[in-house]
Amino acid sequence: MYSSVIAAMILLCSMPLSDARAINNPCQVQDIPSLTKQLTDTIEQMALANTSANDLMSALRGPGFLTEDDQNQLNATENLQDLPLLVEADNLTVTNMVDFLHESCRIVSTHIAYVQVALSEQVANDGRLLETELSHLESKLFELLCNVHALAHTKNASCATIESTVDASVVPSAIRNIQDATLRYMRNYILGKDTKIFLGNLKANFMTLLNKNEK
């Protein structure tokens, strides 16, 4: 069912990345599986995105990137400026989940914007090192966005508003256009870590929804 989505994403990923490109919503919904199936699929997609984030961090622990000292310091570092790690969701249920889904779309899109900034800086400055890892993470997050969009669609809502609200400008200038390669790797490492934290929190929200839906 997602073939058109994947086609749109391939198109998107092969487009040159310009700094102010808004996150286009590539998602189209053709038929709607049961809510339980959608929630389960979305949770599975989080695991795939999490794997891509792990792969990015593993690459950055490899030779030529971050030293043990760097990693020690970064393992204890707070998250990147303005990057949300949690969707606020008091009292979340399947009947009141539309606001939660909208906020999830916004925050997943924000993570995509950060990944796109990291990717375009690696491509521009660093002989395309980490291009594979960052591109994979970007596409897994786009697929996750489409899962959330499909869920919103079930409730007659959508993720369309992100088209006008999320672009590279959500990434603060202090952590953009980093010229020093090591500092760029550090930013990208924390980004991988933050994305994993966010996905863990989002998974907990979705487990809540799944449990309530199955009761």
Ligand X SMILES: *[C@@H]1O[C@H](CO)[C@@H](O)[C@H](O)[C@H]1NC(C)=O
Kindly list the residues in this chain that would bind ligand X in the complex (CB under 6 A).
46-47, 50, 54, 68, 71-72, 75, 90-91, 155-156, 196, 199-200, 203
Of 61 and 128, which CB lies nearer to ligand X in the complex structure?
61
The alpha carbon of residue 28 and the mean position of all alpha carbons in its chain are separated, in whole angstroms, by: 18
Length of the chain: 215
Of 71 and 177, which CB lies nearer to ligand X in the complex structure?
71
User: Smallest gap, in angstroms, from Cβ of residue 196 to ligand X?
Assistant: 5
Report the DSSP beta bridge partners of residue 167: 22
Of 8 and 144, which CB lies nearer to ligand X in the complex structure?
144
Of 172 and 200, which CB lies nearer to ligand X in the complex structure?
200
Distance CA 108, CA 99 (A): 14
Q: CA nearest 48: which of 117, 148, 142, 158? A: 142
Six token digits for residue 158: 């959508």
Report the DSSP beta bridge partners of residue 22: 167
User: Smallest gap, in angstroms, from Cβ of residue 186 to ligand X?
Assistant: 13
User: Smallest gap, in angstroms, from Cβ of residue 154 to ligand X?
Assistant: 7
Six token digits for residue 170: 């959500």
**What end-to-end distance do the CA atoms of the chain give, in Å?**
28
Q: CA nearest 98: which of 198, 203, 209, 22? A: 209
Of 50 and 122, which CB lies nearer to ligand X in the complex structure?
50
User: Smallest gap, in angstroms, from Cβ of residue 115 to ligand X?
Assistant: 16
User: Smallest gap, in angstroms, from Cβ of residue 193 to ligand X?
Assistant: 7
Can you say whether the dihedral through the CA atoms of 156, 105, 55, 210 is positive or negative? negative
